[in-house]
Structure 1
């Protein structure tokens, strides 16, 4: 036990340094808020292949109109239907180990944000009925994310204090005033989020699970 205590003190001392002649102890604190998302963001991809670009444009425009009308019918705000990017590339196939151009491929991406996740499964069903579409890049959204991040930041501060107190106690001292405080994930960027989606098995319900909003800080405390 005595050897273990000596090793523990040596390990803790590795976190301590001197700054301007003052002994400090440095810790990293983290805090999390698990919240239920209230929005969903995803991309709808249209892909058309054929010999004539004009016909591909006509078909893509027709499907785009059907998609937009379907989304609006499901109460999606027109302002949340954006980024209708379009690209046309040659369409090649391989025959007898030879690459041959059959025509062109047109792809179009529509970015969609849904503010109410309760009917997302029904919305997906309606969109897929249009045919030859893909839904990708699905991510969960939290409208009050900044507020949750601030709460996580307070928890991170408490975590840092707890760690510093525990470590200092092993050195027969206690943390004093804060010498340095660094926020490792800035408020100006989206906090780290881990998402999980679960389906209840029915086509009319959608259980989005939880989003974890995380704050991480680095604190230096003065010690005697």
Structure 2
């Protein structure tokens, strides 16, 4: 028989869902910046894009960002067309080169955006604040979820006047929830002298489904 949404009985078992949450401050920021160029000739387009990308990279290196913290996250070439009176007319090639920049100084996130835009970037996206200790914090949240499940089972057993075995016979781990993602695109940042980006806090969540045996009834 079922007991609302917090738990249910299966034979002599109480099944409950436990949840745990840990709120922390991020210690790492990643930003994706890049440049898209269009040219009629593919080779010319690649060369122009390479020049623009190099200028962005050199500017970021000038901020003191290590070269190993700047990597290509996407590089693609697309054929571009115009449509006139039902006709497809070849316009040229679009070359896009995106760079992911990683820093541990969170205050540099806004500076990275500004510097990249000033040096030719026309794409800014995927600004994320993360923690390098995610696994440790997740384990902490998981322990809280297990405890929360026990407390729910204990509440149910007490209300029904039965004796609960405190050791669960089954514990199934749920999935970790997605990390927060903050996105900023060029129209939001272009021409701004100082882009203020606030990291805020991260919430690491875990859940479990636990089965407890009880005596009585």
Give the TM interval when normalised to the shorter protein. Answer: 0.7 to 0.9
Match of 1:11 in 2: 3
What root-mean-square deviation, in Å, do the aligned CA atoms of Structure 1 and Structure 2 show?
2.4
> Could you list the per-position Cα deviations for residues 68-110 of structure 1 after superposition, in whole angstroms to 9, with x for gaps in the alignment?
1122222222112113532222111123343210211111222
Is residue 195–residue 210 contact of structure 1 (8 Å, CA) maintained in 2? no
Matched, 1:180 2:165: no
Name the SS for the 2:54 alignment partner.
helix
User: For residues 196 and 14 of structure 1, do their structure 2 counterparts lie closer, same or farther at Cα, with a shift above 3 Å needed?
Assistant: closer
- TM-score, length of structure 2 as denominator length: 0.84
- Aligned to 2:79, the other structure's residue is in SS state strand
Corresponding residue number in structure 2 for 1:163: 152
Match of 1:223 in 2: 214
Tell me how far apart the structure 2 counterparts of residues 10 and 173 of structure 1 sit (CA, whole Å). 16
2:193 equivalent to 1:195: no
Per the alignment, residue 91 of structure 1 pairs with 80
Q: In 1, distance between residues paired with 2:116 and 2:36?
A: 14
Change (3 A) 1:84 1:137: closer
Say whether the 8 Å CA contact 2:39–2:92 is kept in structure 1. yes
Q: Indicate the larger mover: 156-165 or 176-185.
A: 176-185
Q: 2:138 aligns with which of 149, 165, 174?
A: 149
The equivalences for 1:65-84 within 5 A come to 65-84=54-73
Hey, what's the Cα distance between the residues in 1 that align with 2:2 and 2:109? 55
Aligned length: 204
SS of match in other structure, 2:26: coil
Deviates more, 1:93-102 or 1:206-215: 93-102
Match of 1:115 in 2: 104
- Rate the CA distance shift 1:202–1:95 in 2: closer, same or farther, 3 A: closer
Pairwise CA distance, 1:206: 3.8
1:26·1:220 contact (CA, 8 Å) conserved in 2?
yes
Secondary structure at the residue paired with 2:58? helix
Moved over 4 A (4+): none
Q: TM-score, normalised by structure 1?
A: 0.82
Q: 2: distance between equivalents of 1:47 and 1:184?
A: 41
Q: Distance in 2 between matches of 1:89 and 1:204?
A: 31
